Structure 1
């Protein structure tokens, strides 16, 4: 276990990456992140290392396309899991406001406590409404067996565009079969999510979301 009060030295060559790790570990301790979420982050971190831990030109173009889909949508929804909430709750809320999207909690390792924790994190970040918590997630995605099949009938079920940061490939495929446009943020370009989504931003969530907020502000006036 890490020592309380530990700080990453700014001089460390990978200081930002280490800070992100600490935020995720803190999210685990607070009930946002599942144990498996820590492993999933490590896998993504390996791909980020290959990208030079920087946003590449292809990610910028994909982010622009994803924002365009969200701005043009009639019913855009941003799906939020524990890792995303732990790492970027404020940016998720800002993006939702910038593109007029709803925020919906959707978890693979689902429990009422984790749902509430994720929703509370989003509300602390300024969200006025959070969908998908508890009994309101009463609809289901066809042909999907995991707990991620449960969705809010006011949100993902009726959405025309869904942004899925840190997603499961089977749900991305299922959403596509439902006729939805899916935009993903995924560091692994070979994942099922990345290959199944209409648009995939191959970048770290903590860089991609602030970029998308900025792009949304610029593109609203086009």
Structure 2
């Protein structure tokens, strides 16, 4: 893989950097080709929200972290995109939340599972990884994503499924799991089926959730329960769509076409 040589002065440096990380992950067998398509689709929605964490996403993250801290058996699911973009953050977040990490792939091969495990173990050789040899299957889910670990997603009460396909989100909800997703597309089936949807780029969401976890771990359970009980996912998704609409209207009403930086 060619070295990443884009200067930091480039206006799209970080976007190009993470694209490079995904290309590298594809070459190393971590990512499926479809993962590149999914990332590109997500980038399009990131443009619409302004490539920043918006207030509805902040509230969703606080509710998500509160629910995970209250959970008895929380699990963070990892796919190729997650392993390529936020492997260190995934491990740190799991430790803060006392959560399990489970590798779960739609385009599952033993080679990809091994490659993702190696990435995570390079960061923390002692990290416990589930999903290497799954023994259970999510009911009514025929894809490889249906294979889960008995000690992980199968047993979990709260599951984080970032950058997810909608059929597994729906199947997990049908099992009675509380599902949290990180999804830049508020119209996706995952976003609409999940109990909590964080509409944000995972490269911003996981670091922010780590900060929130450090804060909320100090709070009493009653306060955490209040955060969760006051959360309304439908309202949050509506607010995200209104944010996109308002931003597009503002942009359309300004002469932005030759501006180097967008005004909003």
Tell me which interval the TM-score lies in, with the shorter structure as reference length.
over 0.9
Picking from 114, 117, 121, the partner of 1:116 is 114
Partner of 1:62: 60
Residue 120 of structure 1: how far off its partner (Å): 1.3
Residue 121 of structure 1: how far off its partner (Å): 1.1
Q: Conserved in 1, the CA contact under 8 Å of 2:4 and 2:17?
A: no
Partner of 2:45: 47
After TM superposition, the structure 1 = structure 2 runs for residues 140-151 of structure 1, keeping only pairs within 5 Å, are 140-151=137-148
Partner of 2:197: 200
CA distance in 1 between counterparts of 2:102 and 2:8 reads: 35
CA distance in 2 between counterparts of 1:99 and 1:40 reads: 27
CA distance in 1 between counterparts of 2:138 and 2:204 reads: 30
Aligned with 2:86: secondary structure? Answer: helix
Superposed structure 1 runs of 4+ greater than 6 Å apart? none
User: Which structure has the larger Rg?
Assistant: 2
Aligned with 2:89: secondary structure? Answer: helix
RMSD: 1.0
Picking from 143, 155, 159, the partner of 1:158 is 155
CA distance in 1 between counterparts of 2:218 and 2:208 reads: 17
Aligned with 2:154: secondary structure? Answer: helix
Unaligned regions of 5+ residues in structure 2, if any? 220-264
Could you state the TM-score of these two structures normalised by the residue count of structure 2?
A: 0.81
* Paired residue total: 218
Residue 112 of structure 1: how far off its partner (Å): 0.2
Are 1:132 and 2:128 matched, yes or no? no
Q: Deviations over 1:167-188 (max 9, x none)?
A: 1100000000010100000000
Are 1:179 and 2:176 matched, yes or no? yes
Unaligned regions of 5+ residues in structure 1, if any? none
Aligned with 1:183: secondary structure? Answer: strand
CA distance in 2 between counterparts of 1:9 and 1:52 reads: 23
Could you state the TM-score of these two structures normalised by the residue count of structure 1?
A: 0.96
Q: Deviations over 1:142-195 (max 9, x none)?
A: 000110000000000010000011111000000000101000000000000000
Are 1:168 and 2:149 matched, yes or no? no
After TM superposition, the structure 1 = structure 2 runs for residues 13-28 of structure 1, keeping only pairs within 5 Å, are 13-28=11-26
Q: Conserved in 1, the CA contact under 8 Å of 2:106 and 2:145?
A: yes
